[in-house]
Amino acid sequence: MKAAKAADIERAAELFHALADATRLRIVERLRDGEQCVCDLTGALDTGQSRLSFHLRTLKDAGILRDRRQGRWVYYALNPDVMEEMAEVLGSIRGA
Amino acid sequence: MKAAKAADIERAAELFHALADATRLRIVERLRDGEQCVCDLTGALDTGQSRLSFHLRTLKDAGILRDRRQGRWVYYALNPDVMEEMAEVLGSIRGA
DNA sequence: ACGATACATCAACGATTCTTGATCTGTCAA
DNA sequence: TTGACAGATCAAGAATCGTTGATGTATCGT
């Protein structure tokens, strides 16, 4: 188990911060089953459009989500790469 | 993979929040190798006493650390239970 | 008892984050 | 074109968080 570099720590903090909010966790939970457009999420999460957009951006900026425009709709999905990254981060936090 | 209950989500957000800070992650990293007293951490992390105490409390309040007073010193260590909890949380976030 | 040491807590302030409502952009249908 | 819809972005205020320095509390050595 190697020591974490400063950049790793900053990155881990960024990831954790993005997940440190109940609304964002609900978004992630909903996306486990696959891509959804913002309109679906708005209905499912019962939240204002602006608020939802803010949290989606927070997750996207952290690399947790990716988005894809299709016609009038934008679809969000979990980024598989970051899931692996999370697992690594968790491993490095876990005690020996 | 069952759906997360509201309480689970709040708890996960609490855990992630506690880890969403570089100073706190450095503390956790140092404690991977076992218990340390605050004085050791102060030296190792090169941070003010008050600041360190604040972050230790944040981690402890989230259940990530436990503390133990011994004479003049207070020792902090990772809470093994919460490590398992983190792994579960991660599993529930991870896509199918 | 007294001073020193280890740490917690408090109060005040700045910084960051979140929410809300308004406005802007892009896409489609008529 | 025009209007409607999906969504992003912006601006302002509220709330939360982190930092700093000062003070409080417990324990120890003398």
Domain ranges of chain B: 6-93
* Start-to-end Cα distance in chain B: 8
User: Among residues of chain A, what percentage have pLDDT more than 70?
Assistant: 95
Q: What is the pLDDT of residue B9?
A: 95
Instruction: Output the pLDDT for position A83.
Output: 87
Interface residues of A toward B, Cβ cutoff 8 Å, are: 1, 3-4, 9-10, 12-13, 16-17, 19-22, 25-26, 28-29, 31-33, 78, 80, 83, 86-87, 90, 92-96
Average pLDDT over residues A49-78: 98
Amino acid B7: pLDDT:
81
Query: DSSP label at B94?
Result: S
| pLDDT of residue B1 exceeding 60 | no
Ramachandran angles phi, psi of B78, nearest 5°: -65, 145
Cβ <8 Å between B29 and A1: no
pLDDT of residue A36: 97
Mean pLDDT of all residues in B74-92: 91
Q: What is the ipTM of this complex?
A: 0.92
pLDDT tens for each residue of B50-66: 999 999 999 999 999 99
Task: Name the band, by pLDDT with cuts 50, 70 and 90, for residue B23.
Answer: very high
> Are the C-beta atoms of A56 and A76 separated by less than 8 Å?
yes
Tell me the CATH number for domain B6-93. 1.10.10.10
- pLDDT by residue (tens digit) across B25-48? 999 999 999 999 999 999 999 999
pLDDT reported for residue A7: 80
Coil, helix or strand for A48? coil
Query: Which residues on B lie below 8 Å from A20 (Cβ)?
Result: 13, 16-17, 19-20
pLDDT at residue A35 in the model: 96
Q: How does B48-64 read in b/e, with b if 16+ C-beta sit within 10 Å?
A: eeeebeebbebbeebeb
Q: Which CATH number fits domain A6-91: 1.10.1490.10, 1.20.120.140, 3.90.650.10, 1.10.10.10?
A: 1.10.10.10
**pLDDT surpasses 90 at A31:** yes
The Å distance, CA of B51 to C1' of D19, is: 7
DSSP string, B28-88: HHHHTT--EEHHHHHHHHT--HHHHHHHHHHHHHTTSEEEEEETTEEEEEE-HHHHHHHHH
